[in-house]
Every structure is written in structure tokens, then in C-alpha cells.
């Protein structure tokens, strides 16, 4: 039975690499796929998914008003489709996540989504919130904080290289603009942990 999958992580954990590897595995076996990425993120060029290690592939793009279910249904009319892949899935709308769930449930095509869980202020993206609620299978892709702990959060850097604590939820960028941190160091960088809160505490 087809499922809706959501693989999530902080920035620079290799989400696009894993997506492209999985899509390649399908094509290597003669199976057809359909790839989507957010139109808003054109760092690799419009309609392209690229990883930091040099892998890339052409893809469809989606914007907030697109009916992804209709597009997949149209694609199925031309022949078999074995999997749908979605990069930058945090930019999906809630309705689009429901559409992808229907691709799995009603069209019988597995859907594999890859994206961020939270923004630089520690808040869920709308698409990620819907995927966490609806996906059949949740998978965390791990990356490390500077301290060696698992990174679960991300901070945004301004032009001066300093951490930005306010701003729009969406601002496209890569390693030049975002740094992944563990929760403890994210809280320190965001100024949320006052030193006086820990007076007398000797733990690490």
C-alpha cells in the first residue's frame, strides 16, 4: 500500500542528496518518478534539485496555489508512475499536503517528501506541520551542531555574519545564511536563555 513519507532535518543535513539518490535507484530499475521542488527556491536554477556534493536533476516546481494532485493525475494518464518526490517540502501548503496524501491513498503512488521541520525562530513551517500530522512514516535526517550534539534547530545570519532574531519566516539561503545547532546552543544564540536562570546550577 502506498504511503506518504516525510524526511526532515535541520539545514545542510543532506536532504536533497538522499532524495536524488532514492530517485536514481528508481530510475536504475526502470521505474518512473516525478520530482517536485519549490518554485521560490531557485538557488540551483528554476526547476532543478541540486545537492552540495554535486548531484542534481530536473524537476517540476510547485507554488502555493498549485494543485499537485491534478498534476500527478495528469502525469499518470501518460503511463505508470512509481514514486513522487518533493524537495523543500516545508513550503507546501496544508492543502497541498492533503493532495499528496490523496496521491498515496487514492492513486496508489508513494510520495516521499524532504524538508525542514522548523524555521530560524523555532516555529514549524506550515507544510512541515501538516506533514508531521498526516505522514504515514516520519524519518529524521541527522546532522551535528558545532558541539557534536544532534542539531535540531537553525539560526539565520545577517550580512554582517551575526545571528538574526527577527524577520520573515522565509528567506532563501544556504550555508552562507543558515547554521544548524542543537537546541541548547540555538537558545543561547537567540538570547532566550538568561544566565541568571542557571545561578547555582553545576550541571553541563
DSSP state of 197: G
Cα dist from 23 to 16, 65, 86, 99, 188, whole Å: 10, 25, 11, 21, 38
At 163, is the secondary structure helix, strand, or coil? strand
The catalytically annotated residue of 56, 58, 74, 88 is: 88
Rounded Cα distance between 66 and 63, Å, is 6
88 is catalytic: yes
Give CA 145 to chain center in angstroms.
18
How far is residue 151's CA from residue 148's CA, in Å, rounded to a whole number? 8
Q: Residue 136's closest CA among 90, 108, 101, 107? A: 101
Q: With contact defined as beta carbons under 8 Å apart, do 182 and 151 qualify?
A: yes
Closest CA to 41 of 178, 160, 189: 178
Name the residues annotated as catalytic: 88
Amino acid at each position: 500500500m502506498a504511503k506518504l513519507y516525510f524526511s526532515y532535518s535541520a539545514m545542510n543535513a543532506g536532504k536533497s542528496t538522499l532524495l536524488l539518490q532514492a530517485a536514481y535507484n528508481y530510475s536504475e530499475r526502470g521505474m518512473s518518478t516525478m520530482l517536485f521542488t519549490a518554485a521560490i527556491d531557485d538557488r540551483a536554477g528554476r526547476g532543478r534539485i541540486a545537492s552540495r556534493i554535486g548531484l542534481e536533476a530536473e524537476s517540476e516546481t510547485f507554488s502555493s496555489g498549485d494543485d499537485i494532485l491534478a498534476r500527478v493525475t495528469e502525469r499518470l494518464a501518460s503511463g505508470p508512475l512509481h514514486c513522487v518526490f518533493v524537495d523543500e517540502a516545508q513550503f507546501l501548503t496544508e492543502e497541498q499536503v492533503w493532495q499528496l496524501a490523496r496521491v498515496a491513498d487514492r492513486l496508489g503512488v508513494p510520495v516521499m517528501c524532504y524538508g525542514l521541520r522548523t524555521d530560524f525562530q523555532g516555529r514549524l513551517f506550515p507544510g512541515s506541520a501538516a506533514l508531521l500530522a498526516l505522514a504515514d512514516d516520519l524519518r529524521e535526517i541527522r546532522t551535528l551542531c558545532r558541539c557534536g550534539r544532534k542539531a535540531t534547530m537553525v539560526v539565520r545570519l545577517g550580512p554582517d555574519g551575526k545571528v538574526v532574531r527577527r524577520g520573515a519566516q522565509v528567506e532563501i539561503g544556504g550555508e552562507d545564511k543558515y547554521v544548524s545547532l542543537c537546541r541548547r546552543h540555538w537558545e543561547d544564540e537567540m538570547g532566550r536563555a538568561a544566565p541568571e536562570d542557571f545561578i547555582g546550577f553545576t550541571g553541563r
